[in-house]
Chain A
Amino acid sequence: MSGIERRGLLRLIGATVAATGLTQIGPWRAGGSETAASTATKGRLRRWAMVIDLRRCDGCQSTGKPPQCTQACIEGHFAPEPMEWIQVYEGPLGAGANGATQFLPAPCQQCQNPPCVNVCPVAATFSTPEGTVLIDQQRCIGCRLCMEACPYDRRFFNWGDAPLPPEALFMGYHPEHQTPAIRGTVMKCDFCPDLARAGRLPYCAQGCPNGAIYYGDLEEDVATNGLEVVKLSKFAADNNAYRLKEELGTEPRVRYIPGHGELVGRNPRKKGRLPTVWPWQKLVQGATTWKR
């Protein structure tokens, strides 16, 4: 049994367990007001957020592998090729950078004034009370208005039948993990609130070898990258955290600490990162893929 297969089997078991616990379409869709699993403590709702420390992100240049946040996300969610729900962009470092670059891991920004939710004609994409923006692929009509509305390029469309490993087909569908993918619908980063409620970090934060991705709760004002626990507001303020395209008024839940991988020793003039891979691609017979 190859490594990939073994991992897939383990994931299948885990997924089945997760699916049985989440047969309802989420605490908010069910209409109940008490959602024990999603409360921080005694009736307080989580307000999930993320702080990404760009000082620690070198695009996984030092590991000699593709960006591990993206890889972990892809393998955890069975995100179909070519979807990178968290994508590591390489952009110019800033004014006068003279060719120097920075890596920018971009998950869905989980806006609080989400343009995508505002334009959806059928409320298939919706804001949850916890502040995440999810998509109900069983309702989505595939009009792609949300993709035009998103100013962060963070939405993906199932143009054809997505290649999926067999175990993905056994996972019960839920908007919080979006598996299995449904043709003709939109997908994106779901911020892994299901994992967080189970006491685990999102796949991307788990995957980051440098601990650059802090996942947290604005309500409890705490965040962690799995290595250290920080007071979210203090950590953001102390390090001049900013949000992408603040001027658009989308109020993202993802904050960035400016940097170019200096804390992990990256030379900002060293460019390039390895391309992402979809490891189960070869296991799926006759899979159709497409380019972004």
Chain B
Amino acid sequence: MEAVGTSAAPVAPPEWRERLERLAFAPLVATSRTYLLWVGLLVAVIAFGLFAWSTQWRDGLIVTGMRDRISWGVYIASFVFFIGISHAGTLLSAILRAVKARWQLSITRMAELITVVALLVGALFPIIDMGRPDRVLNLIQYGRWQSPLIWDILAIATYLTGSTLYLLLPLIPDFALARDRLGPGVNRVQRALFTMAAVGYHDTPSQRAALGRAMTTMMIIIIPVAVSVHTVVSWIFAMTLRVPMNTTVFGPFFVAGAIYSGVAAIILLMLVLRRVLRLEEFITLTQFKGLGYLLAAFTLIMGYFNLQEYAVHGYKLEEGMPFHFAQLMTGPFWPLFWTYILGCILLPGLLILNPGTRTIKGISAAAVLALIGMWIERYLIVVAGFRVPVMPYEPSDYGPTWVEWSILAAAFALFALIITVFTKLFPVISIWEVVEHRGPEPAPSPGPALPARARAAGAGALAILAMVGSATGLVLGSQASAEDLPPVRVEVAVPPEAWIGQAIHAQARLTDAAGKPIEGARLKFTVTLDFLGASGRMAIAEGTTGADGIVGAEFDLRTEGAHEVRVGFGGDDRYAPASAVAKIKVTGTEQLYVQEAGIRVPGLNEAPVLGRADEGPEQTGVAALVARLWPSMSGWPIALALIVVWSLYGYVALLVARISRAEASS
């Protein structure tokens, strides 16, 4: 395994390095009035959001605009949005580190910070969206492996842990630097923090090697974890049987959208911190261009996925899709939809691909558009998606209320506040990595190559959906007056005993008074039954007599007990009605109807579902715990993946411990 942090370092001029350290550490030492004002503003917004939430807590979700038919709204859209933003750190730090790009080193710290903070904020939304937030612990007590929501919780918890580790690991040398350089300038709390977080790092070769190994491990493991997170986030939609959503493209579509918005978020944060913290020398057009090219690449990927989504649906136009297309393109969502497609996918791409606008301003504008667009896209997926009627009813409408907007604003404020506070706790530039891998001269940008032309997406075709009709028929019966018609005789032969559900062969014969068989008469077999308070003759078979006057019938009886099978002749224009009865005893205790509730995938509906009395008494204590932890076949892939990821986290923690021990022994 090749470690990242150990490659030979070009020598950086001391005064350049000193300037970098001074600027990067500046916010840790001094606090300006603007900073305090900014924090105050954010706290005020958050406080108002908390007030809005308290309203919701008091009155229930009725204070939101959500209702039964569009029962998810801004909250879930924002959840998806924030989790998407969190992909920034992974892509930049891990992927670009893995391919040994160097230009991004001065911004990896910001990217990793965004990841952690966006996850923290995003994970709040499902709890805010819950009807019973007081029962959030039920998710642990009764959690089922089979639910996409539990996958979300597992994946986000895993990703949050991993990205926190990945944020903290490259911080160790910088904390050590802060510990060693910022003697009197910091207060006691900060010093204690630096000393603790530096875990006794003194840049010895063995510590260096351990750190490098730890970072390489995290770099590799964090990529699949990040992909899994947004895939399962998409699955809370894709696993439903709703028309615009039950598509297999949702996983990669969401991952691409996540990275798209994540890159945009870094560009924006870069722009702000560069200005506020005066890092113009270290964050230059090179970084903006590098990220801009990535953003442009992802406009193409997003365009491709949208083409995929709308062309495939639009060509077939299955039921519900004409409605969906109409509401998006010309209906109530048209301003949002076209803003998203033209303003937030097409325009950012053009801004970056056009050399004239490939400036810091142009790229930042593209990033802002991309962020707006991705929020719109999440909103459209949730709200427009659930607006498509699944039954014949008038489509309902959704408009977020002040509570939802306030909580959303508070979430953005919280996002900004955590980042603002973090700039006080550690340098937002990874000093040691920048020093190690880059001299004072900015390296020529090795931005990813782009295809020369973007493909234009075609609009979906329109067609008329034919509906399947159902033929209906009228049943008419006629009865002749039975008086003074010649009488007939019905004879019936039924076996005396049968099991429940057994095929019973019975015969009935219809003759006239002289014993001559009657042909072409309709005979009906019935059994008298009591069921739920109703009592009546239940028709079990019927037939028309042949030339010998005989009707054969095959039926089964599923009610235990002694029955009288009655064969009736309703009479016609030739003969009077008549009937006859035969006794049959039906026994048996076998369960005949054996359709089992639940999905047919092996194990998907097992152990945690408590509703299975057939399987004997419920387990308690340790047995129940084990049953819940190791439920079934379907749980194993999830469990296996979690074990692999978390053991690698454990390995990284071990390496950190080794760094700490190395100091103790030296």
Which chain A residues numbered 240 to 278 have a C-beta less than 8 Å away from chain B? 240, 242, 245, 248, 250-251, 258-260, 262-263
Contact of A142 among B132, B396, B617 (CB under 8 A): B132
Which residues from B are CB-within-8-Å of A129?
A: 597, 611-614
Q: Which of B72, B138, B146, B538 has the most CB of A within 10 A?
A: B538
Please report the C-alpha to C-alpha distance between residue A221 and residue B560 in the assembled complex, in whole angstroms.
Answer: 12
Number of residues of chain B lying within 8 A (CB) of chain A: 93
Q: Given A92-B467, A123-B608, do A143 and B149 touch, yes or no (CB 8 Å)?
A: yes
A292 adjacent to chain B (CB < 8 Å): yes
Contact of A184 among B60, B240, B535, B560 (CB under 8 A): B60
A78 adjacent to chain B (CB < 8 Å): no
A141 adjacent to chain B (CB < 8 Å): yes
Encode A81-102 as 1/0 by CB contact (under 8 A) with B.
Answer: 0000000011111111100000
Which residues from B are CB-within-8-Å of A220?
A: 531, 558-559
Encode B118-129 as 1/0 by CB contact (under 8 A) with A.
Answer: 000000001001
Encode B58-71 as 1/0 by CB contact (under 8 A) with A.
Answer: 01111010111101
Which residues from B are CB-within-8-Å of A65?
A: none
Of B40-48, B197-205, B573-581, B584-592, the stretch lying at the interface with chain A is B584-592
A157 adjacent to chain B (CB < 8 Å): yes
B472 adjacent to chain A (CB < 8 Å): yes
Whose C-beta in chain B lies nearest to the C-beta of A133? B597
Contact between chains at A94 and B468 (CB < 8 Å): yes
Contact between chains at A258 and B470 (CB < 8 Å): yes
Contact of A112 among B130, B597, B617 (CB under 8 A): B597
Please report the C-alpha to C-alpha distance between residue A230 and residue B531 in the assembled complex, in whole angstroms.
Answer: 10
Contact between chains at B470 and A94 (CB < 8 Å): yes
Which chain B residues numbered 168 to 219 have a C-beta less than 8 Å away from chain A? none
Which residues from B are CB-within-8-Å of A216?
A: 531
Contact between chains at B72 and A112 (CB < 8 Å): no
Q: Given A123-B142, A229-B537, do A290 and B589 touch, yes or no (CB 8 Å)?
A: no
A67 adjacent to chain B (CB < 8 Å): no
Which residues from A are CB-within-8-Å of B449?
A: none
Contact of B593 among A47, A123, A200, A201 (CB under 8 A): A47
Contact between chains at A145 and B131 (CB < 8 Å): no
B610 adjacent to chain A (CB < 8 Å): yes
Contact between chains at A119 and B390 (CB < 8 Å): no
Please report the C-alpha to C-alpha distance between residue A227 and residue B534 in the assembled complex, in whole angstroms.
Answer: 6
Whose C-beta in chain A lies nearest to the C-beta of B616? A33
Contact between chains at A199 and B532 (CB < 8 Å): yes
A30 to chain B, nearest CB (A): 8
Contact of B239 among A41, A149, A263 (CB under 8 A): A149
Please report the C-alpha to C-alpha distance between residue A199 and residue B126 in the assembled complex, in whole angstroms.
Answer: 43
B240 to chain A, nearest CB (A): 5
Number of A-B contacts (CB under 8 A): 300
Which residues from B are CB-within-8-Å of A223?
A: 531
Which chain A residues numbered 137 to 190 have a C-beta less than 8 Å away from chain B? 139-145, 147-153, 155-161, 183-186
Which chain A residues numbered 115 to 136 have a C-beta less than 8 Å away from chain B? 115, 117-124, 126-129, 131, 133-134
Sample of 15 further A-B pairs with CB below 8 A, known A91-B391, A230-B539: A32-B613, A43-B589, A113-B600, A117-B598, A119-B146, A126-B609, A127-B597, A127-B598, A139-B142, A144-B129, A148-B237, A148-B240, A157-B68, A220-B558, A224-B531
The interface of chain A, by Cβ under 8 A from chain B, is 27-29, 31-33, 35, 40-45, 47, 55, 89-97, 104, 106, 112-115, 117-124, 126-129, 131, 133-134, 139-145, 147-153, 155-161, 183-186, 196, 199-201, 215-231, 234-235, 240, 242, 245, 248, 250-251, 258-260, 262-263, 288, 290-292
| A-B residue pairs in contact (CB < 8 Å), sample of 25 | A29-B611, A44-B591, A89-B393, A92-B392, A93-B469, A94-B468, A112-B596, A118-B599, A118-B604, A119-B149, A121-B149, A124-B138, A126-B611, A127-B605, A127-B611, A129-B612, A142-B132, A144-B72, A151-B242, A159-B66, A219-B558, A220-B559, A221-B556, A228-B534, A229-B531
The interface of chain B, by Cβ under 8 A from chain A, is 59-62, 64, 66-69, 71-72, 126, 129-132, 135-136, 138-139, 141-144, 146-150, 153, 236-237, 239-242, 386, 389-393, 396, 466-472, 474, 529-541, 555-556, 558-561, 589-593, 595-600, 604-605, 608-614, 616-618
